[in-house]
Structure 1
Amino acid sequence: MIEWAVSNAWVVWLALFLLLAIIEMISLDLYFIMLGVGALGGVAVALLGGPFWLQVVVFCITALAMIVLVRPIAIRHLRKDPEALRTNVDRLIGEDALVLEPTNRMNGRAKIGGETWSVRTDDEVALQPGTYGSVVRIEGATAYITRRTRMTGLD
């Protein structure tokens, strides 16, 4: 059995890669897939006829390089730009709001993203029609806005 494993080490490395890939699918930590890439390095050396000790060295160096160099970049790209991941009404937070009716803490209407919304202000300052506000939060069907100092165009 040991003689077969040594003479067919590429099969052992490939099985190790598959096992690590399955564990990665469960954990989603990006550690096990980096180790799996190291195992693929072992497969390559085994197929080229390299000795077992060289296969292990290539596995270790490749896996370590992947963990140290590639994993941080992959994590940064996976967690990049959470603003783009916002959905539904969360997308409207920070958007401009064109005030359509006098708006205060109790009531008002504004155009946000091409739609007319019920709005209220978060502060004591009332906003007059034609002025711009910025959406700070949304509760139910009501958007809360504050005065915007910079004017930007809306549809």
Structure 2
Amino acid sequence: MWEWLTDNAWLFWLVAVIVLAAVEMLTLDFLFLMMSAAALLAFGLSWITDNFVIQVVAFAVTSVLLIFLVRPVALRRLNRSTPETVSNVARLVGLPCQVLDPVTARSGLVRLEGDTWSARSLTGESLPTGTDVYVHRVEGATVVVAPHPAPATEGRGAPRPSF
């Protein structure tokens, strides 16, 4: 087994590069990407030298250097360039909608981004049909609305119009 490995080290390192890159695609943490790059270096070394121990040492040293020197810089840069994105129901807070069926403290319907949602009034006041209101929070499948906009959440601009 050892003899086969030393004779075909290039294949071992090529498989290591592919497997580590595939694991990186699942984790997206740059850890396995650094190890994949180190395996790529060892793959190149396998064509220069037949000494498998040198290849393993180069892989280990390069992995450690990349993980502790390059990875933190790459993570900082990625986090700095990625905007805060609000998703799922949290993105609905602050959006305008229109009352379809009078909204009270207990029931009502609004049109929100082209969909009909059950709604309740934030203040308990009755909101008549046709009133323009804003989403303040989402509770399950019900939006809590009021005639004035919700306080802006960090990372969001002005509410978008509903279509």
Decide: shared fold, TM above 0.5: yes
CA distance in 2 between counterparts of 1:2 and 1:153 reads 67
TM-score for the superposition, normalised by structure 1: 0.61
Structure 2 residue 92 is matched with structure 1 residue 93: yes
5 Å-filtered alignment, 1:2-151, equals: 5-6=5-6, 8-17=8-17, 20=20, 24=23, 28=27, 31-49=31-49, 54-68=54-68, 69-70=70-71, 72=75, 76=79, 83-84=86-87, 86=88, 90=89, 93-94=92-93, 95-128=95-128, 129-140=130-141, 142-149=142-149
For the aligned residue pairs, the C-alpha RMSD in angstroms reads 4.1
TM-score for the superposition, normalised by structure 2: 0.59
Gap runs ≥5 in structure 1: none
**Residue deviations 1:17-67 (CA, integer Å, cap 9, x gap):** 466568x38x84654453233122101122133865653453234323443
**Residue deviations 1:115-154 (CA, integer Å, cap 9, x gap):** 33331123334434423221511434x3322343377643
**Residue deviations 1:68-94 (CA, integer Å, cap 9, x gap):** 4347369859x976634x3xxx37632
The residue type paired with residue 46 of structure 2 is: A
How many aligned residue pairs are there? 147
**Which residue in the other structure is 1:154 paired with?**
162
CA distance in 2 between counterparts of 1:65 and 1:76 reads 21
CA distance in 2 between counterparts of 1:56 and 1:44 reads 12
**DSSP 3-state at the match of 2:86:** helix
**Residue deviations 1:1-23 (CA, integer Å, cap 9, x gap):** 6566445432443454466568x
The residue type paired with residue 38 of structure 1 is: A
**DSSP 3-state at the match of 1:103:** coil
CA distance in 1 between counterparts of 2:59 and 2:106 reads 66
